[in-house]
Amino acid sequence: PPALSAEQAKAVLAEVIKAFGAPENAQRMEEARDNACNDMGKMLQFLLPVATQIQQDVIKAYGFSSDGEGVLKFARLIKSYESQDPEIASMSGKLKAMFLPPMTLPPHGAGTGGVAAS
């Protein structure tokens, strides 16, 4: 895999984040999210391939292989810089939030406030 400096890694990461914001990609992610209906297993089934594809399109220009392996190597590279560079850490968190559902489950009491009393 290409050896990117922290600066280069940051630039690629910024581009990947921008790619997720592109209207056609946002649309694809939205559809995948709808198909998954907040089901964790389905999220991985629908959302991950789309997210992987979007990342591949960006990072292959930087010498990463355009397959799942390239995306994993890119993720590992970013991870290795997270501890040294708070900006990379924050961008990485932003990127993950785009395709990983927040890990919080709704509280069990949600939606029962006062309704049961009627």
Q: Does the pLDDT value for residue 117 go beyond 70?
A: no
In a domain, 117, yes or no: no
Q: Distance between CA atoms of 34 and 17, rounded to whole angstroms?
A: 21
In a domain, 38, yes or no: yes
In a domain, 116, yes or no: no
- Is the sign of the CA dihedral 64, 80, 49, 29 positive or negative? negative
The pLDDT tens digits of the residues spanning 39-72 come to: 888 888 898 899 999 999 999 999 999 888 999 9
| pTM (predicted TM-score) | 0.79
Q: Does the pLDDT value for residue 111 go beyond 80?
A: no
Q: Distance between CA atoms of 99 and 16, rounded to whole angstroms?
A: 12
In a domain, 107, yes or no: no
Q: Residue 99: name the closest of 55, 30, 51 by CA.
A: 51
Q: How many helices (H) and strands (E) does the chain have?
A: 6, 0
Residue 34, judged by CB atoms within 10 A of its CB (0-12, 13-18, 19+), counts as: exposed
Residue 74, judged by CB atoms within 10 A of its CB (0-12, 13-18, 19+), counts as: buried
In a domain, 41, yes or no: yes
| 8 A C-beta contact, residue 51 and residue 13 | no
In a domain, 77, yes or no: yes
Count of domains observed in the chain: 1
Domain that holds residue 54: 6-99
Which residue is associated with the tokens 């964790």?
40
